[in-house]
Amino acid sequence: MAPSKKKHASGQTCVIPGGFTVLSLQFSPDSPAQHKLCVKEHKVRAERSSHRPMDRTLFVLNIPPYCSEAVVKELFSQFGAVQSVELRDHPGAFQHSGPKLATFFKPAEKKGFKVGYVIFQNSSSVSAAKSHPLDVPLVVSAGQHPVSTGVQKWIQQYRESFIQPDKLQQTVDSFMQDYDKRKEEEVERQKREAEEQQEDEEGWVKVTRGNKGAKARPHSEAANQRTLQKEIVKKKRKELMNFYTWQHKNTQKEHIAQLRKKFEEDKQKIALLRAQRKFRPY
């Protein structure tokens, strides 16, 4: 979505259809070219996540490839303290992908323009970013925070590709400790659920109410198997085979029909064998 070509007065904001505010982005103070960012307050009612508060989250479009999360955080920190920054290839709901991995364990990111979610510590920072004038560009590479490009960037990436063995071992040990802790918590949770779902002497099952607003968790495989076995036992208790006369008659009719069907199939097999047999007296 391109911004309007109408000239704006100095110190005024540029708002385009859709409620997006256009911000100018400049790589360096002496760079003649400028890039445009589109920002908007993040308001999605379906996404009620604490990771993206609706009153403190700024949705950013058209982020160039040379802007990392650290660069974006530094750019928008002039509007207020930034809590976190999330960059993605496409907009969407927040997805918790398990434990946080170290940088050298993550797959290579796709190079291209991205969308971002900037979470501020105060809600007033969102309004300050939206009211930023168009003719005052945000500078990416300043004197205190330079951004490497070209050969310098390749050299930096090459140096960062080497991993110290002690640092790698420390990261792996920390990850395994967190993994073991999460597994123990999962086992404890399943044990509590199994105890809660056990029947008492009279066959009653205690049902507890979860926290308000908590999503219902799917039943585990063990719980589903227990429920299925209980239903089978309950069904066998209720069923009384051949209790009524009509049940006994229907059972006899079905048995006779099966015998007749088998008899007809055997007759067809015998006829086929006779047809295939050839008389050879000599």
206 occurs within a structural domain: no
| Per-residue pLDDT tens digits for 60-73 | 999 988 888 888 99
98 occurs within a structural domain: yes
How many structural domains are present in the chain?
3
Q: How far apart, in whole angstroms, are the C-alpha atoms of residue 86 and residue 91?
A: 11
Torsion of CA 233, 238, 241, 246, to 10 degrees: -150
7 occurs within a structural domain: no
More confident residue, 17 or 110: 17
Whether 126 and 245 share a structural domain: no
pLDDT at residue 208, as a whole number:
59
pLDDT at residue 4, as a whole number:
42
Whether 105 and 173 share a structural domain: no
Whether 162 and 94 share a structural domain: no
Whether 94 and 167 share a structural domain: no
Listed in sequence order, the residues at least 6 apart from 79 whose beta carbon sits closer than 8 Å to its beta carbon are 120, 125, 126, 128, 129, 132
Global pTM value:
0.54
pLDDT over 60 at 219, yes or no = no
Whether 137 and 106 share a structural domain: yes
- Picking from 77, 107, 141, the residue at the C-terminal end of a domain is 141
E strand intervals along the chain: 14-16, 20-26, 35-41, 57-63, 82-88, 114-120, 138-139
| Per-residue pLDDT tens digits for 102-146 | 665 666 667 788 899 999 999 899 999 999 998 888 888 877 777
Whether 115 and 170 share a structural domain: no
Whether 85 and 154 share a structural domain: no
pLDDT at residue 39, as a whole number:
92
Any idea what the CATH number is for the domain that residue 24 is in? 3.30.70.330
267 occurs within a structural domain: yes
Whether 81 and 135 share a structural domain: yes
Contact present, 58 and 38 (Cβ < 8 Å)? no
The parent domain of residue 154 ranges over 148-186
Region at 62 (left for phi over 0; alpha for psi -120 to 50; beta for the rest): left
What is residue 139's three-state secondary structure? strand
Whether 46 and 31 share a structural domain: yes
Whether 73 and 26 share a structural domain: yes
196 occurs within a structural domain: no
Whether 253 and 164 share a structural domain: no
| Per-residue pLDDT tens digits for 179-201 | 888 889 888 888 887 776 665 55
pLDDT at residue 250, as a whole number:
83
What is the pLDDT confidence band of residue 6, given thresholds at 50, 70 and 90?
very low
69 occurs within a structural domain: yes
Whether 45 and 131 share a structural domain: yes
pLDDT over 90 at 205, yes or no = no
**C-alpha Rg value of the chain to the nearest Å:** 35
